[in-house]
A = this chain, B = another copy of it.
Amino acid sequence: MNSELIHRIVILGTGNVAVRLSLALKAAELEIVQVYGRNKAKAKTLADKLNSAYTDELNLINHSADLYILCISDDALEEVIKKISFKDAFLVHTSGTTRIEIFGEKHEHFGVFYPLQTFSESKEVNFKNIPFCIEASTKDDKSKLITLAKRVSDHVQSINSEQRKTLHIAAVFASNFTNYFYSIAADILKKEGLSFDLLKPLIQESAAKILSQNPENAQTGPARRGDHKIIAEHLKSLDTNKDYKDLYELISKLIKRKYLGQ
């Protein structure tokens, strides 16, 4: 049965997901046979790290791999999928939101291999804790993907397209939007000549708190306390930046309504 396991993999894409995922797979002793990237230099850089071949032409993609992992933007998926037309290719994408149906009728073996995490080009991340959301065209294909994902993660789950989209939306709030708020905080401090380092222990603790209590109970701050005097002072200080002021006002209003019914 060993011959049925996925071993030889082609990575399509050279972004953060492609880099981190392919390195994790290599570390788990999978073989990355080729990297495809529109940007040849970036494909070479990644391929060098993986000891793999690389190409910037879709029609030069190796036909003999067990799996083709598409780590490319959602907008580009449809076109790339169309162009990989050789028989029996097993394709997966790594998108949070794109439905499995995007693989269409031309392909027989396809699925989703979605690691629920934020990836940096330079920062390593521990894959063991990352939830992997798996979906596939057939039971057998799903089983293969689950086996593969378990090589790198202890949290592999079968998740359908609808649930995956919900997870992705929640992740946008919990990660992308919170990071944007970190950058607002950094910007506010910078304008007053204060170091962003001062906020780092607070940011770490705010994230750590939700490991031991639900975020509803973890809520603190002027809006949660209904401290209108402080909110008014903060809004006055934010007068010079309408975007920040509007955000502060809107979110404070929502927090007050949620907790205080005001």
Contact = CB atoms under 8 A, between A and B. Distances in A.
Interface of A: 16, 73-75, 96-98, 116-120, 122-123, 125, 129-131, 155, 157, 162-163, 165-186, 188-189, 191-192, 194, 196, 198-216, 218-225, 227-230, 233-234, 237-238, 243-244, 246-248, 250-251, 254-255, 258
Q: DSSP majority for the A interface?
A: helix
A233 B116 CA distance: 18
Contacts of A255: 176, 180
B167 A198 contact: yes
Contacts of A251: 177, 180, 247
Copies in the assembly, this chain = 2
A206 B166 contact: no
A16 B116 contact: no
A212 B167 CA distance: 26
A194 B176 contact: no
Contacts of A194: 163, 166-167, 170
